[in-house]
Amino acid sequence: MRSRGRTRLIVAIVVTLVFIAPIYLMLVNAFKTGDQIRANPVAPPLPPTLENLTTALTRPDNLIPLGLRNSLIVVVCSVALLIPLGSAFSFYISRRRGRVRAVILAALAAGLMIPPQVILLPTIQILTWLGLDHSYPGLILSNLGGGYLSFAVFVYVGFMRSVPDEIVQAARMDGAGGLRIWWQIVMPLVRPATATVAIFLSLWIWNDFLNPLFILGPLQGQTITTGLYLTIGQYSVDYGQLFGIMFLAGVLPVIGYLTVQKQFIAGLTAGSTK
């Protein structure tokens, strides 16, 4: 038993290091010069320098300010549309019974199982037909389908099925319509689910690379991920500036998570008991 416990501990430590190693390398190398990075990328920054961050922020092409702004706009608009759409659809599904709900959930499951790369070309063709290709509205519209909406629906359905029918029926008897019941009664009860959906979708959309690259195109604008790709040269790479941009790109998601972490943890805890 002791040997098995030690083996599990060693495996846990190795897995933890695998996940932490990229974060550690990004943090330490963001505050080191290029020569220090090439000499020993694992060593701590002694002495630390802010040159990489200041250089990234003062680039002539304004890559960081524009990339962060564009990514933030895309994330906020996409999540602001996905949450009401996903929660309203989930409220409808959670009140259905039998085959109707099973068929809808099976169709939504396909959105999670089909790789996004498979539907990228059809998505671009649809946006071209709508006249929204190479535009931010087109990119936001593409985020409303596929796995993002499916994930939101599956999370919300699990929470909304736990809302007692007596509450909904009592509201209907008082004259409340379906829209009012969903917004004023059900949504406050599933606030942890909203925080969970918002965090996961924000991170996925923020880190998305293929959709901004192909839908926007290199000449129409850039998010922080495509901007990071543009900093990699064909023959040489400025690793100091690259790590500095990586650090700045990760600041906003961390701040956003810390802002809603209480609701996020509550959502995970509640979901584990349903």
pLDDT, tens digit, for every residue of 186-245? 998 888 889 889 989 999 999 998 899 888 876 556 888 888 887 776 556 788 888 888
pLDDT band with cut points at 50, 70 and 90 for residue 263:
low
Q: What is the pTM of this model?
A: 0.85
Q: Are residues 206 and 246 in the same domain?
A: yes
Rounded to the nearest 10 degrees, the angle between the axes of helix 147-160 and helix 239-272 is: 30
Residue 171 structural domain: 50-272
Q: Are residues 73 and 31 in the same domain?
A: no
What 3-state class would DSSP assign to 238?
coil
pLDDT at 118 over 50: yes
Q: Are residues 60 and 31 in the same domain?
A: no
Question: What six digits make up the tokens of 189?
Answer: 């009860």
Instruction: Please state the rounded mean pLDDT for residues 51-71.
Output: 86
Q: Are residues 1 and 76 in the same domain?
A: no
The reply to whether omega before 122 is within 30° of 0 (cis) is: no
Q: Are residues 118 and 31 in the same domain?
A: no
Q: Are residues 145 and 197 in the same domain?
A: yes
Amino acid 84: pLDDT: 95
Instruction: Please state the rounded mean pLDDT for residues 130-153.
Output: 89
Amino acid 205: pLDDT: 94
Question: What six digits make up the tokens of 28?
Answer: 């330490």
Q: Are residues 136 and 126 in the same domain?
A: yes
Report the candidate in 190, 115, 114, 206 with the shortest Cα–Cα distance to residue 155.
Answer: 190
pLDDT band with cut points at 50, 70 and 90 for residue 35:
confident
Question: What six digits make up the tokens of 102?
Answer: 């099973």
At 54, the amino acid letter reads T
DSSP E strands: which ranges in 37-181? none
pLDDT at 103 over 80: yes
Amino acid 218: pLDDT: 65
What 3-state class would DSSP assign to 194?
helix
Q: Are residues 13 and 95 in the same domain?
A: no
Query: What is the count of structural domains for the chain?
Result: 2
Q: Are residues 5 and 67 in the same domain?
A: no
Q: Are residues 12 and 89 in the same domain?
A: no
Q: How far apart are CA 49 and CA 273, in angstroms?
A: 47
The enclosing domain of 169 has a CATH number of 1.10.3720.10
Amino acid 256: pLDDT: 78
pLDDT band with cut points at 50, 70 and 90 for residue 55:
confident
CB distance 95 to 157 below 8 Å:
no
Neighbours of 93 (CB within 10 A): 19
Q: Are residues 10 and 70 in the same domain?
A: no
Q: Are residues 210 and 104 in the same domain?
A: yes
Enumerate residues 6+ apart whose C-beta is below 8 A from 119.
146
